[in-house]
Amino acid sequence: MTIQNPISTVTRPDFHPVHNGTKAPLQFAGAEYDARIAGLRGIMADTGVAAAVLTSMHNVSYYSGFTYCAFGRPYALVVTASEVVTISAGIDAGQPWRRSHGDAITYTDWTRDNFWRAVTHVAGTGGVVGFEGDHMTLDQHRKMLAFLSPVQVIDLAPATMRQRMHKSAAELELIRAGAAVADVGGYAIRDAVRAGTREIDVAMAGRDAMELEIARRFPDAEYRDTWVWFQSGLNTDGAHNPVTARVLEHGDILSLNTFPMISGYYTALERTMFVGEVDDASLKIWEANVAAHEYGMSLLKPGATCAEVTHAINDFFEARNLLQYRTFGYGHSFGVLSHYYGREAGLELREDVDTVIEAGMVISMEPMLTLPQGAPGAGGYREHDILIITDDGAEDITKYPYGPDFNVVG
């Protein structure tokens, strides 16, 4: 049987606007996005960039308000001296336009690389093009050169990251709310912990409580990617170990991790817990990590460098013969899509980061010690608070209590 392909009379463009419905309320006022775009255009002016082609979830969301879901398709925000345009896949229809500050173009699937044809329509050819070197793949970089024929390309990733590291008053308000939502998840988890319950059941209790709280606080927001890592026993040895169906047992060490996302902004709460009781060896390690946590938070203030804070906490652990059980850095920046979809790596508490901490930054303190199976006090111990750096210190916006007095439950 031969299938005939009739000649279609329908116009099938490479790209087109889809202004379907009316603009939805965004997480921030238009003036907030205008200020961010002005900052970006300042970066472009300083570097001679005529068109910025931003492709990461972080920057597209930060500058436009639209948080894309790629499913293997490319997305971008193209910014020139006069245009701010998201470039999105046809599968999203009018959502990118409704949920973005500025204009939007949708590219179609009919011809390969229609994404780049849409980008070229806004960015033009033959100019100086800015891109994100820490996000764009080699294949997409090759296509950028072929379609845009730039006279020069400049990596804007470091400069845009530095802009995102300094939070506006509006961002700080949203981050405070996110920390409060994370606390709600923590209390729900605490209430659900008991011997005989599975990790997954406890995790769902925390996730559901946060989703409901976000919907209550932000009725106009988009709801996605709020989740919980809840680990028990051996599963606590890695901070990012997934949830399982392991059944909690009396005396288990637990790790509570809540991660609400509100319109692209993540916060987090992490606490060590025990089911029913904590043995002496575990209590000693737990109390030492809590002391390091408190010490670390006291060091977060303007003028300190990330490396200085890190070395000081290292010395604290080394004096107690515990430094060998540290597994990663002591904290990092929080903000748009940070940190599940990547981090603002210029603001991390590591030995090799010399960034000076400044007012308006948001950073976590989260020391973790992991003792191997079979050792006295085996398991992973972790506390995590989020702090806003102020003019003379830091404001701890995490309110769920840490330590043994509150977190031996069930």
pLDDT digits (tens, 9 = 90+) for 166-178: 999 999 999 999 9
Classify 106 as helix, strand or coil. strand
What pLDDT does 4 receive?
A: 54
CA distances in angstroms from 304 to 34, 310, 350, 354, 361, listed in the order given: 31, 10, 13, 9, 12
* CA gap 92, 324 in Å, rounded: 48
| Mean pLDDT rounded to a whole number for the chain | 95
Q: What is the mean pLDDT of residues 72-89?
A: 97
CA distances in angstroms from 377 to 127, 233, 314, 381, 397, listed in the order given: 61, 11, 20, 10, 30
> What are the counts of helices (DSSP H) followed by strands (DSSP E) for the chain?
11, 18
φ/ψ of residue 277, rounded to 5: -160, 160
Using pLDDT thresholds of 50, 70 and 90, give the confidence band for residue 74.
very high
* CA gap 67, 338 in Å, rounded: 13
Is the pLDDT assigned to residue 24 strictly greater than 80? Answer: yes
**Residue matched to tokens 């031969």:** 2
By annotation, the residues acting in catalysis are: 240
Q: Which domains does the chain have, with CATH numbers?
A: 15-164 (3.40.350.10), 166-409 (3.90.230.10)
β-strand partners of 106: 16, 88
Cβ–Cβ under 8 Å, residues 117 and 15:
yes
Cα Dmax for the chain? 81
Tens of pLDDT along 177-214? 999 999 999 999 999 999 999 999 999 999 999 999 99
Using pLDDT thresholds of 50, 70 and 90, give the confidence band for residue 302.
very high
Is the pLDDT assigned to residue 1 strictly greater than 70? Answer: no
Percent of the residues in the chain that have a pLDDT greater than 90, as a whole number: 94
What pLDDT does 293 receive?
A: 98
What pLDDT does 341 receive?
A: 74
